[in-house]
Structure 1
């Protein structure tokens, strides 16, 4: 065996891991990063290690400008710890709180420490539930939900600062599921067999001021974070 080459190769691996920003596990410490769905660091996120043996026993930390955090853990053997995080943001005058989940949610001992990274996801599935929020679409007389198509276009950055993408969906059940929280402009049209679609009039909420499009924000209520629009046929249709 060529010892010189083996040592050199091992050193290169260590240097590569260090330069790429890979965190090393440290005893009695939970460390890691928080990024948004675009891979940008998220500052000011409240990260915690929750003790599995004692109720409401947490070690707390907060991410810096580069999305990094370090949480010291007690040196007493107090069972194991699991990671978690919350991000709080004010967006267009509304305060939101989002639960974040680590890339590895397994429990760990304080003496071994752990690296736990988080991604602030605004949409997707977690188990049987959606991470994103629902947009409800109500109709006035003459609009068939089975032939209704809506387009939601982000009006500015989403709540996490990312750009977002337009969403076009058929809405036979009167809602669009799993929409990232942001401000949206909605347009709608009624699809017709063998004929051109009919552009519909749109109003934010449960009707009011109608136009070719409408822009609104998500709202918080007893039912969670939701957005609502109402659509109707234009005059003469």
Structure 2
């Protein structure tokens, strides 16, 4: 069986952000130099569920799906009254952050981190425990989690990525038959750990049509060996616009727009 390899040697590092209490992923110790405005203090003895609201202060914690703290995640408190006057702070070694918000404004909080994975740079949006805005003088606790999949609270997609394809709709055995994207079944087998260091699982799904094209959505960030079939008949698969096809292809996600990543393929019988 012939395989197309779209990536180099498999390496897993996290740069800019650090998961700090062990685990299978080798990590970089580099932390973003952008600290922004506000203060950064560790709330000793606190865990993710015991932080209490403090007047005039935004605080919280960022963790991975397994509960391990993430260092160096960037927290942005968007001042919804004044343009381009956000408060920005990074999480400490225990995943905590703290910033003063005692001004007459309403804030909405988002979080993002940057990682290096398989030699590529990715910006990861983090999932809020509470996505509501708050009044600065009132203060708030806003915790975040790194999720590889799941719907975003703003209704604008998923935390996972998309595998999209363009199908040659001609059946060489019957040129009068028009092939339909929904009859394509795609199998994704992880090649090494996922972006968060977890093992991942093989994914086999029927394709769906989306505003971005046909394929699979909400796929955990990783490197995958990809194959497909059309109603049980094997498809030839290749990277988009390469003109190369094989029974399977190994591919990484690449950036489509900021913090949105796709794998784009072509398929034919």
* TM-score bucket of the superposed structures, by smaller chain: 0.7 to 0.9
Aligned to 1:158: 194
> Aligned runs of 1:15-164 on 2, under 5 Å?
22-73=50-101, 75=102, 77-126=103-152, 127-131=154-158, 132-140=160-168, 141-142=170-171, 144=179, 145-164=181-200
CA contact (8 A) 2:48 2:143 kept: no
Gaps of 5+ in 1: 1-16, 192-196
Once the two structures are TM-superposed, the CA of residue 208 in structure 1 deviates from its matched residue by 4.2
Larger Rg: 1
Corresponding pairs, count:
210
Cα distance, 1:113–1:172 mapped onto 2, change above 3 Å? closer
Once the two structures are TM-superposed, the CA of residue 207 in structure 1 deviates from its matched residue by 4.7
- When the two chains are superposed, the root-mean-square deviation of aligned CA atoms in Å is 2.8
Q: Which has the higher contact order (CA 8 A, sep 6+)?
A: 2
Gaps of 5+ in 2: 1-44, 173-178
State the TM-score, normalizing by the size of structure 2. 0.66
**Structure 1 or 2: more helix by fraction:** 1
Cα distance, 1:32–1:225 mapped onto 2, change above 3 Å? same
Q: Separation in 1 of the partners of 2:156 and 2:139?
A: 31
Aligned to 1:201: 236
Q: Which moved more, 1:156-165 or 1:45-54?
A: 156-165
Cα distance, 1:19–1:227 mapped onto 2, change above 3 Å? closer
CA contact (8 A) 2:54 2:139 kept: yes
